[in-house]
Amino acid sequence: MLANTLILIRGLPGAGKSSLAKLLSEDQKYPVFAIDDYFTNKLTGEYCFDFSKNYLAYQQCENLTEQAMSESTPKVFVDNAFTLNWEMEPYFKLANIYNYKLFVVTVEKYHNGSNIHDVTTEQLQKMAEKYKVKLL
């Protein structure tokens, strides 16, 4: 039997993280949690980011992830830019606490899609410069 699995899906805005997460979740058979969910109106789908509430979005995502893991959900996905390694650390701890196998998947942009958050090319470049990928 396969171990329960936590998959962190990271990448720059517009890379296709949400699309990949939806695909891997097998049409939402498995939960996908995202920081963006906090800022997205469930009725209209409108996204309205408020930096002053960003910490609440992070907390909600972590709480929902932990709840799913505490219920032994076989696969749990978290979709976020995770530009900096410290942003992933709470999930590393949760995987350890709940004995989940952990994967970090970095999505690269090889398509012509655009980010839905109107992040400028300059901002994307700054985010990209912060990325560190652990290969060993």
- CATH of residue 10's domain is 3.40.50.300
Give residue 13's pLDDT.
86
Q: How confident is the model at residue 1, as a pLDDT?
A: 54
pLDDT along the chain (136 residues), means of 10: 89 90 93 95 90 94 98 97 93 98 92 72 83 76
**CB of 7 closer than 8 Å to CB of 99:** no
Distance of CA 47 to the CA centre of its chain: 16
- DSSP string across 72-120: T-SEEEEE----SGGGTHHHHHHHHHTT-EEEEEEPP--SS---TT---
Tally of domains within the chain: 1
114 located within any domain: yes
54 in a domain, yes or no?
yes
Instruction: Give the orientation angle of helix 54-70 with respect to helix 89-97, to 10 degrees.
Output: 20
Q: Does some domain include residue 135?
A: no
**What is the pLDDT at residue 127?**
83
In a domain, 136, yes or no: no
Which domain does 32 fall in, by range? 5-130
